[in-house]
A and B are shown apart, each in its own frame.
Chain A
Amino acid sequence: MAATFQFNQGYGAGPSDVDIGSGGGDNEFNFMNADITAALTPVYTANPITAGNCSFWVGIRGHWTGTFNSISNIRVWWTKTLTGYGTGADITASVQGSWPGAPSATDTTDPTAPTVEGSGLQPTYSANYCQWTRHQLETAADASPGDGGSSTLNLSYDET
C-alpha cells in the first residue's frame, strides 16, 4: 500500500495541529485575521484582513500515514493568484526548524514564496511529518473589498 497524505495545520503557541480535510468550503486552510482552532474555525469570512495588513501567518506541513519505506525530496511552492489584494501584494513563505510560536498578523518578513517546484521550499521529513512551513498573505492599501484571488499551495515528495 502507498502512503496516505494529508496537509496538517498548526495553531496556538504549542502548537496543536489538525489535518485539513478534503471537504472544501470555508473550514479549510485560508488566510485571515485570526488563528484557527481544532475545528478549523473561525472562518475567513468572519475575520477579514484589513487592506494594507498581513494575514495571520499559517503553519502547514505534510502528514504521512500508512505503509511506505521512505519519504524524501519534499518541495513546497505556490500557484499564486493575487488579484484583488492590491499593488505589490504577495504570499511569503519559509521553512521553520521549530514551531515559531503562536500565529499572528505581524509581518514575518519571510521571502516571497516560490512559484515553481524546482525552487520550492525543502522541508525535511521525520517520523510521519515534515518540517513546518510558514505562509503569510501580505495585502496592499489599495486592496479591494471582498474575496480576492484563490491561490493553490503545492507539496510534492518522492515515496518508496
Chain B
Amino acid sequence: MRRFKQWLAIYGDCILRQNWETGEGNSFGEVEAKGLPRKFFVGRKYGVNLETGQLYLAGDWQQFADKDGEPLKPTKLIYHRHVTKSINIGTGKQTHSIEHHVGFEHDKGMIELCIPDGGDKYKICIGG
C-alpha cells in the first residue's frame, strides 16, 4: 500500500496541512505559500486525491467519472472558504456563515464538496 505524507484536513474554520509521520502542520494561510503538492490530499472527513480523481467522503474514497465512465482527471485543486457576512441596519446585529469548498477542476468542469463550518453534512457541487 502506498503511503503519502501530506494531507489536507478541515478543522473548524481553518484548513491544516499536516505530515502524517512527523505531525508537523501548517496553518491554512501557509499552505499556498509553501506550494501545493499535487499527489494526495485527504481530510479527517473530507478530501481529494488529485492523482485519481477520487473524493473522500462518508468514510471512504469514492471515484467520480464522466458520463462515459472515464474517471475524472483533476487539473487543479479547489480549496477555499466561502464566507458570508451580514449586518442588519436596524439592530446593528452582525452574523456570518462559512462553507468550506474542497475538490478539483478537471478537463470537463469541476467537482467539489461544500461543507458547512463545523458540520458533519456536505453536498457535492458539480459544474461544467
Contact partners of A69 in chain B: CB under 8 A: 29, 31-33
In the complex, what distance in Å separates the CA atom of A155 from the CA atom of B93?
14
Question: Across the interface, do B94 and A22 meet the contact criterion of CB distance under 8 Å?
Answer: yes
Contact partners of B87 in chain A: CB under 8 A: 7, 20, 28-29, 152-153
Closest chain B CB from A118 CB (angstroms):
13
Question: Could you tell me which residues of chain A, from 5 to 56, have a CB within 8 Å of some CB in chain B?
Answer: 5, 7, 20-31
In the complex, what distance in Å separates the CA atom of A24 from the CA atom of B92?
4
- A156 CB-CB contact with B under 8 Å: yes
Contact partners of A152 in chain B: CB under 8 A: 86-89
- A119 CB-CB contact with B under 8 Å: no
Interface residue count on the B side (C-beta < 8 Å): 26
- A160 CB-CB contact with B under 8 Å: yes
Stretch of B17-25, B53-61, B75-83 lying at the A interface: B75-83
Question: Across the interface, do A24 and B91 meet the contact criterion of CB distance under 8 Å?
Answer: yes
- B90 CB-CB contact with A under 8 Å: yes
Question: Across the interface, do B81 and A2 meet the contact criterion of CB distance under 8 Å?
Answer: yes
In the complex, what distance in Å separates the CA atom of A62 from the CA atom of B32?
23
Question: Across the interface, do B83 and A24 meet the contact criterion of CB distance under 8 Å?
Answer: no
In the complex, what distance in Å separates the CA atom of A152 from the CA atom of B93?
9
Chain B residue nearest to A160 in the complex (CB): B80
- B65 CB-CB contact with A under 8 Å: no
In the complex, what distance in Å separates the CA atom of A109 from the CA atom of B85?
26
* Contact among B27, B89, B93 for A1, CB-based, below 8 A: B27
Q: Say yes or no: A155-B32 contact (C-beta < 8 A), given A25-B92, A29-B92, A67-B27.
A: no
A-B interface, 8 closest residue pairs, ranked by CB to CB distance from nearest: A150-B90, A28-B92, A24-B92, A67-B29, A156-B84, A158-B80, A69-B32, A22-B94
